[in-house]
């Protein structure tokens, strides 16, 4: 473990040496692949506006982002979930106090093939479909076709939200087709009349039909006012209250006229 | 003069020896790494529960690390793709080596070998957007992303390997054997079945097993077309989740040196052992049926 930390340190140090001029300030971000597109858009714009700042970003998952905050190998840890109690305890033991900043909202929308007449499902119906209890579209007012359930991989952040907000501690049944990305879910559904899946709001295309949940359409407004049930905030964590260049960067991200514009551009829901 | 030649000889020998040692050492260290990163999971779950457990929920709380459905998926996909690829590959090889005219063989052989160069992601994409909807329409299935589709795509990938290695084996049967058979009054067909095939069985079986190793270890195709459902398939049209697909899909998001990470490496160990067994079998067959000289038949 120690060796690995040392290795990361060397890599970061090399990145600093080669990636920036001698006087530039550096910000390191890592973590959630869900937050990654937002972080990239904003970092690009920020570096254009502040040529003296160099931001390096990598993915690796929410768990890795928070772990990096605890270990002190990053300035900002991206996460698509809130920090767990276990992790806070570990951080405090190591002498840091992670501070969360909500930077955007992610809204997850159930989708079906455009030829499917079903337009609305309740949370209970969605849960039954994903538990393998409802297996035919005719039970939901659709045609007499077997339902093909498409889910994201169990390790994806999108899956975690779905599990928490829709499944309510029940497990997605093993017969569900697991896809590795939002894009693969869209392809699978656009090509299959029987399929149902769920994707982040940024991935909605004409090839799939968005369903309303409990009669509520998943949009920017219903996400912000909390009416749409399957949404979540996305976070960036810092080590203690941010200072210096990190503080300036966080302020930029949260500013509606600056960073939040790029949240929308990257397909997510801005905070305001 | 002789001294100089001897020393050159010595230098070359040492040079090649060190290169060989280096590559073997590196491979050995990769294996060591695989075991180091995979074994810690067995502190959390017993070997028996890991291999025979029916539920794979590595990120749930509490997690379940049972890879039995993944093992079954890998084995059935490999078996089915071999059932398609072996007859096609071996028969094509026989045709090319024994029956085809020189001109046809000259065109067909490079064409088959060219197929081996197709990137697996292209084959996967083909399976996903062309074959899957076709299977779904033709057989009235709920989904075209299933065991059969992935076996078909893997067969495409292993046919060139099986065919070109078998062809080499058949080609290298000494002409004396064939001439002897024909001189005794056997027909061309009898000679192929009774003499040429038995004489090349060691080479052909190596080809077959290498083709199967390729199928069981292939990642991209099964990730794209197998469907990814971690359940034991009830029919060939059920979606499955072979081991390599699971590793590829989940490794990116598994926290470094967490239980999930260890479990994926342990899955890699299982996959490694399967491939190892395949290779040992191939080696055994190659030795047992090795043709020693022309008089051994």
Predicted confidence (pLDDT) at residue B166 exceeds the cutoff of 70? yes
Q: What is the average pLDDT value for chain A, to the nearest integer?
A: 85
Predicted confidence (pLDDT) at residue A20 exceeds the cutoff of 50? no
Domain co-membership, B150 together with B96: yes
Chain B CB contacts of A160 under 8 Å are: 59
Domain co-membership, B143 together with B208: yes
Q: Taking a C-beta distance cutoff of 8 angstroms, is the pair B157, B124 a contact?
A: no
Rg (CA), chain B: 23
Predicted confidence (pLDDT) at residue A54 exceeds the cutoff of 60? yes
Predicted confidence (pLDDT) at residue B293 exceeds the cutoff of 60? no
Q: Which domain holds residue B120?
A: 47-296
Predicted confidence (pLDDT) at residue B30 exceeds the cutoff of 90? yes
Q: What is the pLDDT of residues B130-149, one digit of tens each?
A: 998 899 888 888 888 889 99
Three state DSSP letters for B194-260: HHHHHHCHHHHHHHHHHHHHHHHHCCHHHHHHCECCCCCCCCCCCCECCHHHHHHHHHCCCCCCCHH
Q: Is A29 helix (H, G, I), strand (E, B) or coil?
A: strand
Give the model's confidence band at A1: pLDDT under 50 very low, under 70 low, under 90 confident, else very high.
very low
Q: Nearest Cβ partner of A154 from B59, B136, B223? A: B59
Structural domain contains residue A270: no
Average pLDDT estimate for B50-75? 88
Distance CA A66, CA B296 (A): 67
Q: Which domain holds residue A166?
A: 106-224
Predicted confidence (pLDDT) at residue A19 exceeds the cutoff of 80? no
Closest approach of A227 to chain B, Cα-based (Å): 27
Distance CA A6, CA B147 (A): 44
Structural domain contains residue A193: yes
Give Cα B179 distance to the centre of its chain. Answer: 35
CB contact under 8 A, A187 and B260: no
Domain co-membership, B119 together with B173: yes
Q: Is A109 helix (H, G, I), strand (E, B) or coil?
A: strand
Q: What is the pLDDT of residues A117-175, one digit of tens each?
A: 999 999 999 999 999 889 899 988 888 888 999 998 877 778 888 888 898 878 888 88
Domain co-membership, B281 together with B212: yes
CB contact under 8 A, B252 and A145: no
Please give the pLDDT value at position B297.
46
Task: Output the CA–CA distances (angstroms, integers) from residue B41 to A78, B58, B97, B257, in the order listed.
Answer: 27, 11, 50, 10
CB contact under 8 A, A174 and B56: yes
CATH of the domain at B166: 1.10.3720.10
Q: B178-200 in b/e burial notation, b at 16+ Cβ within 10 A? A: beebeeeebeeeebbeebbbebb
Among the listed residues B119, B149, B171, B172, the one whose alpha carbon sits nearest the alpha carbon of residue B228: B149
Q: What is the pTM of this model?
A: 0.77
Three state DSSP letters for chain B: CHHHHHHHHHHHHHHHHHHHHHHHHHHHHHHHHHHHHHHHHHHCCCHHHHHHCCCEECCCCCCEECCHHHHHHHHHHHHHHHHHHHHHHHHHHHHHHHHCCHHHHHHHHHHHHHHHCCCHHHHHHHHHHHHHHHHHHHHCCCCCCCHHHHHHHHHHHHHHHHHHHHHHHHHCCCHHHHHHHHHCCCCHHHHHHHHHHHHCHHHHHHHHHHHHHHHHHCCHHHHHHCECCCCCCCCCCCCECCHHHHHHHHHCCCCCCCHHHHHHHHHHHHHHHHHHHHHHHHHHHHHHCCCCCCCCC
- Could you tell me where the DSSP H helices lie in A20-170? 36-49, 62-71, 85-93, 123-131, 157-162
B250 in contact with chain A, both atoms CB, cutoff 8 A: yes
Backbone φ and ψ of A87, nearest 5°: -70, -35
CB contact under 8 A, B57 and A154: yes
Please give the pLDDT value at position A127.
92
B61 in contact with chain A, both atoms CB, cutoff 8 A: no
CB contact under 8 A, B143 and A67: no
Q: Which of A88-102, A174-188, B89-103 has the lowest mean pLDDT?
A: A174-188
Chain B CB contacts of A176 under 8 Å are: 229
Domain co-membership, B119 together with B234: yes
Closest approach of B56 to chain A, Cα-based (Å): 8
Please give the pLDDT value at position B10.
92
Predicted confidence (pLDDT) at residue A234 exceeds the cutoff of 80? yes
CB atoms within 10 A of CB A21: 8
- Scan residues 92-111 of A and list those with Cβ closer than 8 Å to B: none
CATH of the domain at A251: 3.40.190.10
Predicted confidence (pLDDT) at residue A11 exceeds the cutoff of 60? no
CB atoms within 10 A of CB B35: 13
B contact test, residue of A2, A63, A112 with most B CBs within 10 A: A63
Tokens of A124: 């209970």
Task: Output the CA–CA distances (angstroms, integers) from residue A175 to A60, A95, A102, A109, A162, in the order listed.
Answer: 27, 45, 35, 21, 17
Q: What is the average pLDDT value for chain B, to the nearest integer?
A: 88
Average pLDDT estimate for A107-117? 91
CB contact under 8 A, A63 and B255: yes
Average pLDDT estimate for A99-111? 92
Domain co-membership, B80 together with B203: yes
Give the model's confidence band at A22: pLDDT under 50 very low, under 70 low, under 90 confident, else very high.
very low
> Which residue did the predictor score with more confidence, A23 or B98?
B98
Run of H or E residues at A235: strand A231-239
Domain co-membership, B267 together with B224: yes
CB contact under 8 A, B60 and A176: no
Average pLDDT estimate for A251-260? 90
Please give the pLDDT value at position B263.
92
CB contact under 8 A, A153 and B228: yes
CB contact under 8 A, B257 and A148: no
Closest approach of A196 to chain B, Cα-based (Å): 12
Structural domain contains residue A86: yes
> Which residue did the predictor score with more confidence, B213 or A8?
B213
Please give the pLDDT value at position B273.
93
Structural domain contains residue A186: yes
Predicted confidence (pLDDT) at residue B71 exceeds the cutoff of 60? yes
B contact test, residue of A136, A144, A148 with most B CBs within 10 A: A148
Domain co-membership, B10 together with B104: no
Chain B CB contacts of A61 under 8 Å are: 252-255
Please give the pLDDT value at position A64.
82
Structurally, how many domains does chain B consist of? Answer: 2
Structural domain contains residue A229: no
Structurally, how many domains does chain A consist of? Answer: 2
């Amino acid at each position: 473990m120690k060796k690995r930390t040392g290795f990361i340190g060397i890599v970061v140090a090399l990145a600093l040496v080669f990636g920036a001029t001698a006087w530039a300030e550096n910000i390191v971000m890592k973590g959630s692949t869900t937050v990654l597109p937002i972080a990239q858009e904003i970092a690009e714009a920020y570096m254009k506006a502040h040529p003296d700042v160099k931001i390096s970003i990598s993915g690796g998952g929410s768990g890795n982002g928070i772990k990096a905050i605890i270990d002190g190998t990053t300035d900002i840890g991206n996460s698509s979930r809130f920090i767990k109690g276990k992790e806070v305890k570990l951080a405090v033991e190591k002498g840091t106090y992670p501070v969360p900043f909500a930077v955007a909202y992610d809204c997850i929308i159930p989708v079906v093939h455009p030829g499917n007449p079903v337009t609305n499902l309740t949370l209970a119906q969605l849960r039954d479909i994903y538990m393998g209890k409802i297996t035919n579209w005719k039970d939901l007012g659709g045609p007499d076709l077997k339902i093909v359930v498409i889910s994201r991989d169990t390790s994806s952040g999108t899956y975690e939200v779905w599990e928490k907000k829709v499944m309510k501690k029940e497990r997605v049944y093993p017969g569900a087709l697991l896809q590795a990305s939002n894009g693969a879910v869209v392809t699978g559904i656009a090509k299959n009349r029987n399929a149902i899946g769920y994707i982040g709001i940024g991935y909605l295309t004409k090839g799939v039909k968005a369903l309303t949940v409990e009669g509520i359409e998943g949009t920017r407004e219903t996400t912000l006012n909390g009416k749409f049930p399957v949404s979540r905030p996305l976070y960036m964590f810092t080590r203690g209250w941010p200072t210096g260049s990190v503080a300036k960067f966080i302020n930029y991200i949260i500013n509606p006229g600056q960073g939040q514009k790029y949240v929308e551009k990257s397909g997510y829901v801005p905070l305001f | 003069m002789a001294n100089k030649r001897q020393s050159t000889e010595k230098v070359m020998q040492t040079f090649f020896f060190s290169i060989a040692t280096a590559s073997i050492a590196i491979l050995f260290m990769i294996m060591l790494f695989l075991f180091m990163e995979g074994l810690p999971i067995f502190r959390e779950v017993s070997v028996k529960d890991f291999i025979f457990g029916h539920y794979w929920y590595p990120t749930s709380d509490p997690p379940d690390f049972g890879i039995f459905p993944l093992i079954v998926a890998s084995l059935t996909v490999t078996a089915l793709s071999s059932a398609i690829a072996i007859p096609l590959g071996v028969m094509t090889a026989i045709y090319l080596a024994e029956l085809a005219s020189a001109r046809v063989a000259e065109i067909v052989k490079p064409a088959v070998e060219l197929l081996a160069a197709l990137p697996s992601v292209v084959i996967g994409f083909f399976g996903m957007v062309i074959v899957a909807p076709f299977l779904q329409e033709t057989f009235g299935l709920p989904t075209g992303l299933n065991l059969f589709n992935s076996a078909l795509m893997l067969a495409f990938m292993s046919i060139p390997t099986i065919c070109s290695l078998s062809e080499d084996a058949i080609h290298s049967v000494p002409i004396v054997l064939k001439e002897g058979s024909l001189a005794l009054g056997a027909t061309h067909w009898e000679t192929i079945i009774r003499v040429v095939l038995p004489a090349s069985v060691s080479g052909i079986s190596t080809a077959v097993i290498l083709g199967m190793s390729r199928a069981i270890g292939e990642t991209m195709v099964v990730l794209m077309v197998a469907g990814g459902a971690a359940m034991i398939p009830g029919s060939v049209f059920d979606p499955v989740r072979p081991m390599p697909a699971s590793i590829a899909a989940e490794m990116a998001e598994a926290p470094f040196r967490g239980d999930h990470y260890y479990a994926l490496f342990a899955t890699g160990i299982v996959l490694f052992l399967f491939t190892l067994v395949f290779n040992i079998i191939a080696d055994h067959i190659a030795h047992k049926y090795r043709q020693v000289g022309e008089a051994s038949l």
